[in-house]
Structure 1
Amino acid sequence: MTPPSHLLFLLLLPVAASQTPAGPCSGCGPLSLPLLAGLVAADAVLSLLIVGVVFVCMRPHSRLAQEDSRVYINMPGRG
């Protein structure tokens, strides 16, 4: 069985990327440690903010239950 073409493409992509010549940013160094720490912290804060907003929006709203005196056929314990 041969792998799907998109899987083969994904497996060969790093090989093709290593064969490309260096661009104008070939001398750029890695990110500095404070910048990297700031990016990770900002990502964590944004993720927690999204989780908090989803939690608040999906929380069931408490409504006051109004007791009625109607008795229905399929409601055991009422009547």
Structure 2
Amino acid sequence: MAMLSNVLLVIDLQEGVCNGVEPAHKIEELVQRVNARIESYVIKGKKIIYIQHCDDELMKGEPQWEILHNINSIHFNI
């Protein structure tokens, strides 16, 4: 396992970004890798920051704005 930084940033892994008109390339594989990384940070007690893009098409609180349903987001830290 690679060394862990002080903080993990999870950026724009949102329903409207990854599952929009054209789904992100190899999204299932990406989600598996991100979830494994999240778990590594949780085990070590490190912080995880989820950053969500927001604009006219991705409005805060709307379903498309939400983090992907299969990202292990029960560990929301920040």
Q: Normalized against structure 1, the TM-score is what?
A: 0.27
- Could you say which structure has the larger radius of gyration? 1
Q: Normalized against structure 2, the TM-score is what?
A: 0.27
More helix by share: 1
